[in-house]
Structure 1
């Protein structure tokens, strides 16, 4: 099997995993009616998954590097904030990005 074909299959499976996660997150968000940390995290998850799926369509973009850079930026923000509420939001976003990084870069 040639490398291009293998890479295409890999991308397709990864894209399917991320799209399934996106669909499930949207479903759970539609069921969550109260403003809560869970709802906020679902919204962030949907936004980040959509962002990654959009960027994956461009073969010139190296997603692992972009994800790592974004995570480093968030860590810097966490270290600079004195607000527990703001820090909690950033930690949630960091956790979501960490899961996405694992899915994208460890396959």
Structure 2
């Protein structure tokens, strides 16, 4: 069994999602040996590989490298029965012919 199946780090998850150490190495521009050594050390993903791995595997960059990327803010749950958010006031509708006549360039 390959080492990526024996450990549970974000990098190992990415390697499993891609399918093999060799395929991962080709995608991120490293050798298979470098990928193996990183897995064995249970190290973090190379900073130069984070965005490629996120694009290929769908594993968010803040999971792959929490020291470099912050997690996106959690959405605020909406509670029914609370005051609705205030919207910016809208201007009254103006017919097109009045809007054109009121434009400064048309005054000359």
Please indicate the TM-score interval, normalised by the length of the shorter structure: under 0.3
TM-score normalised to the size of structure 2? 0.26
**Which of structures 1 and 2 has the bigger CA Rg?**
2
Where is the helix percentage greater, Structure 1 or Structure 2? 1
TM-score normalised to the size of structure 1? 0.27
